[in-house]
Amino acid sequence: NAGVMQNPRHLVRRRGQEARLRCSPVKGHSHVYWYRQLPEEGLKFMVYLQKENIIDESGMPKERFSAEFPKEGPSILRIQQVVRGDSAAYFCASSPPIGGQNNEQFFGPGTRLTVL
Amino acid sequence: QKEVEQNSGPLSVPEGAIASLNCTYSDRGSQSFFWYRQYSGKSPELIMFIYSNGDKEDGRFTAQLNKASQYVSLLIRDSQPSDSATYLCAVNGRGNNRLAFGKGNQVVVIP
């Protein structure tokens, strides 16, 4: 009964490189969310996806960041031309198909991105 | 005004005592409320959710919701050293699925 899986757990990139973060949701969950946690700050919503659709990207920076959740395979958060300010923990969460009032989201272990 | 506020500083409680954490939110239409526990360097772990006014108990944890006051709290009874962590309040707003988080409250249980 695997939970949310993320890889890599740690990623080091130099300024200007690309970072790709992967997330496989809990089996049976069709909703994926990405959050970012900067040092000494709270979790901030970035994007909400369902299979092949971006539902809400209101928290995504307008440039350099993109996300996808293809029909097959994991969800990918892609950061192009990384800068030092992108250093953070990136968490993926998943939830089952939405019903009623609840929207319980279960978090993966996170990817800790360090930009040198 | 921040969407979700957790204002208290670190909370130190002796082992066996009750830890009380508070959270306020700004969107009166918010529908679901969550408490997550996060150990240092780890990911958030869902420990409670509540969506109706009143109390909800689960083991040593009790969540309390007062929508009129836009206030949600978490009580931890019989606190254990393993409860030492940061507790995050999260709110699901009206008409969307994203969670808005407070900055968290650190709890330290002293043996």
Please tell me the predicted confidence (pLDDT) of residue A98.
Answer: 67
C-alpha–C-alpha distance, residues B9 and A77, integer Å: 33
Distances (CA, A) of B60 to A50, B16, B18, B75, B78: 35, 11, 9, 8, 7
Residue pLDDT, tens place only, A27-85 = 888 899 999 999 777 899 999 999 899 999 999 999 999 999 999 999 999 999 999 99
Give the C-alpha separation, A105 to A94, whole Å: 5
CA distance B104 to chain A (A): 7
Q: Render pLDDT for A1-21 as a digit per residue (tens, 0 to 9).
A: 579 999 999 999 999 999 999
For residue A41, list chain B residues with Cβ-Cβ distance below 8 A.
Answer: 103
Q: Do B99 and A91 touch (CB under 8 A)?
A: no
Lowest mean pLDDT among A63-72, A100-109, B64-73: A100-109
Choose between B98 and B63: higher pLDDT.
Answer: B63
Q: Identify whether the C-beta of residue B90 lies closer than 8 Å to the C-beta of residue B2.
A: no
Q: Does A34 touch chain B (CB under 8 A)?
A: no
B82 touches chain A (CB under 8 A): no
| CA dihedral sign, ordered B70, B88, B79, B15 | negative
Backbone angles phi, psi at A82, to 5 degrees: -60, 150
Contact state of B46 with A109 under an 8 Å Cβ cutoff: no
The pLDDT of residue B22 is 95
Angle at A74 between CA A66 and CA A87, to 5 degrees: 45
Cis peptide before A96 (omega within 30 of 0): no
- Distance from C-alpha of B68 to C-alpha of A59, rounded to nearest angstrom: 28
In terms of DSSP bridges, do strands B105-110 and B99-101 run parallel, antiparallel, or are they unpaired? unpaired
Interface touch A98/B92, C-beta < 8 Å: no
